[in-house]
Homo-oligomer: A and B are copies of this chain.
Amino acid sequence: MSQTPRPPVGRSAPTSADVARLAGVSRATVSYVLNNTAAVRISEPTRLRVRAAAEELGYVPHAAARSLRAGHTRTVVMPSARRPAGPLPLRFYDEFQGELRRLEYTVVEYGGLGLDGDEAARAWAELRPVAVVCPGGTQPTAHGVSLLRRSGARAVVTLGPHPTQGAHFLALDERRIGAAAAEHLIQRGRRAIGVVVPREPVPAHCARLRLEGVRAAADGAGARTVALPMAYEEESAAALAARWRATGLDGVFAFDDEYAMLLMRALQDEGVDVPRETAVIGAGDLLLGRLLRPRLSTVRVDTVSGRRLADFVDRMVREPAAEPEHHDLMAARAVHRESS
């Protein structure tokens, strides 16, 4: 335990040459031993000396040098900006990352915030990733994809509402959530549908798509829709509730369960009967929504497992498809409880 806690930082990290010197062998031998190179047989005593020397010096190979020499990396870049919030996507991406690690990739979650479009693609390309996975909200342009592929990326995969030219596309379409909600409300006889659009910036992207989904479904069924900006604060919900009757709405899709719970409480405080006067539906199937009275109706979202996504990326890396592939990852269906 009395190991020196802060070793002199002046001297830089030991290299394989240092190990070689200490072990009395050449750098080549060090490389053979530490990588267990099968094509070359090194005597056991030598192996031990090399290992001991590496251990003693605290030798750690230099990833940059290695991949420079190798001409490729096992790096998968995943921009992390503007990920949909909530526990579900979080689990999904955690699982995805874990599975990629299992497949021996180094996952680099690159905070693309503050870079726009092609700048970001350039920054990722500098790392010479073997694959790039872009979650919704971080889609590169066709030009960005081209740049990445030219710089050696064997697969560029985008998740989101619409494909990018040249990239694999895994549909993860938030519009479906809105559509499922709208269809549910319409089926239950509602014809004047409000759609909560969060004032908060984070889910702005999702919000627009969910609204689009509602509109598409409602337009086809002759229902009218009204966008309702609302902040995630009690005052904002109360203000919206106060002018509720004036809107003449008989149903509302509240973006997600949290906004739905907030709005439903405000409506109740205002004396609006849910679901008699106004049906309320959220999305995400939060457990908490089931604790309210009336129990909150919701849209349940089923995403493919992170593991399947990881396997897909791996397959695209190993046998790059001639043409971009296109798969569907998300299903959304309304769950009727009591609030609608």
- A108-B109, A261-B288 given; 7 more Cβ-contact pairs under 8 Å: A4-B146, A7-B146, A58-B150, A63-B127, A64-B68, A106-B123, A234-B290
Contact partner, A90, options B85, B261, B288, Cβ 8 Å: B85
Q: Is the CB of B9 within 8 A of A149?
A: yes
Q: Which of A26-71 contact B (CB under 8 A)?
A: 58, 60-65, 67-68, 71
Given contact pairs A5-B142, A6-B324, A166-B5, A13 touches B150 in the complex (Cβ within 8 A): yes
Among residues of B, the one whose C-beta sits closest to the C-beta of A82 is B94
Q: Is the CB of A80 within 8 A of B109?
A: yes
Given contact pairs A110-B108, A258-B288, A146 touches B3 in the complex (Cβ within 8 A): yes
A14 within 8 A of B: yes
A147 within 8 A of B: yes
Q: Is the CB of B232 within 8 A of A60?
A: no
Contact partner, A58, options B9, B87, B147, B323, Cβ 8 Å: B147
A154 within 8 A of B: yes
Given contact pairs A62-B126, A109-B80, A149 touches B291 in the complex (Cβ within 8 A): no
Q: Mark A246-273, 1 if CB is under 8 A from B, else 0.
A: 0000000000001001100100000000
Q: Report B-chain residues with C-beta under 8 Å of the C-beta of A324.
A: 5-6
Instruction: For residue A75, give the distance in angstroms from its CB to the closest CB of chain B.
Output: 9
Contact partner, A60, options B4, B107, B147, Cβ 8 Å: B147
Contact partner, A114, options B6, B98, B109, Cβ 8 Å: B98
A199 within 8 A of B: no
Q: Report B-chain residues with C-beta under 8 Å of the C-beta of A6.
A: 146, 149, 166, 323-324
Q: In the complex, how many residues of chain A place their beta carbon closer than 8 angstroms to a beta carbon of chain B?
A: 72
Give the interface centre of A64, A80, A123 by most chain B CB atoms within 10 Å.
A64
Q: Is the CB of A152 within 8 A of B108?
A: no
Among residues of B, the one whose C-beta sits closest to the C-beta of A62 is B128
Q: Is the CB of A113 within 8 A of B85?
A: no
Q: Is the CB of B101 within 8 A of A111?
A: yes
Instruction: For residue A327, give the distance in angstroms from its CB to the closest CB of chain B.
Output: 18
Please report the C-alpha to C-alpha distance between residue A63 and residue B291 in the assembled complex, in whole angstroms: 52
Q: Which of A169-198 contact B (CB under 8 A)?
A: none
Q: Which of A89-119 contact B (CB under 8 A)?
A: 90, 94, 97-98, 100-102, 106-111, 113-115
Q: Report B-chain residues with C-beta under 8 Å of the C-beta of A320.
A: 9
Q: Which of A137-162 contact B (CB under 8 A)?
A: 142-143, 145-147, 149-152, 154
Q: Report B-chain residues with C-beta under 8 Å of the C-beta of A150.
A: 7, 9, 13-14, 58
